Chains A and B, each alone.
Chain A
């Protein structure tokens, strides 16, 4: 690739290609569904002492409060996930290259630093009645409805890889956010765990 070549418009195509359409693994049970979401991911870090200013700016621009530790806010059009003190991921359906990062930067100004993570991270969606059962095999976070649920976020390790888990609904549907460069290894572990109950890729 030459240096002048523009960034690809399909940063998650290689990860999506790891999943083959069809039914896999055990049959006759309750298969889970696996998919790769094509999204823009932006990391927002409030600058020192400016967390309230950044939160006010996001509230004014997008209409929701930045979430507290372990939680998410917003919706499918734009979701904010708490990832660390004064740090969040902002996730939206894939748009024009870099547009979300520019919009968020324009909103927060010097109250926060914005880094486009769209190419660096990939979002794998695991859903279905047995999704919690599959995920519980992979990580040590307590996923019981008494401790976790829709709108909850946890950064942990899955298959020795850093992974941020976001439960989007009670289905349950989980978004698993991983480094794109490790997505192949991650997917091998996840599909292996899902084979016991079966998984479907549409």
Chain B
């Protein structure tokens, strides 16, 4: 069970949130080649370690959050607002 410290609502249970995937990918420009769009939609790194992810607080404040989570231990290091850029630990 993951507990996420929502910047708006405080410490909440994972069940209130909806996982929305990798928060580091950015949409290519409108004239980018098809390959860039393919990577944007499908290609993910799936790292073992720290990962910046979108978590949508669907049963709480309905805000998208950036969560820095370790994919092996599930430790949550940072929870930030969507407009922020959270620091990612090197190890």
Contacts and interface: CB of A to CB of B under 8 A. Distances in A.
Interface in A13-62: none
B59 A85 contact: no
Contacts of B12: 140-141, 156
A98 interface: no
B7 to A, nearest CB: 9
Interface size class of B (residues with CB under 8 A): 10 to 19
A156 B63 contact: no
A155 interface: yes
B62 interface: yes
Interface residues of A, number: 13
A155 B15 contact: no
B10 A85 contact: no
Contacts of B8: 69-70, 84-85
Given A69-B8, A70-B10, A156 B60 contact: yes
Contacts of A141: 12
Contacts of B62: 84
- Per DSSP, chain B at the interface is loop
Interface string B1-29: 00000001111110110000000000000
Interface string A102-117: 0000000000000000
A10 B17 CA distance: 34
Interface in B46-70: 58-63
Contacts of B10: 70
A135 interface: no
Interface in A81-96: 83-85
B16 A156 contact: yes
B59 A140 contact: no
Contacts of A155: 9, 59-61
A107 B9 CA distance: 28
Given A85-B63, A155-B59, A162-B59, A140 B9 contact: no
A142 B13 CA distance: 11
Contact of A140 (B15, B61, B63): B15
A25 to B, nearest CB: 27
Given A69-B8, A157-B59, 6 more contacts: A70-B10, A84-B62, A84-B63, A85-B8, A155-B9, A155-B60
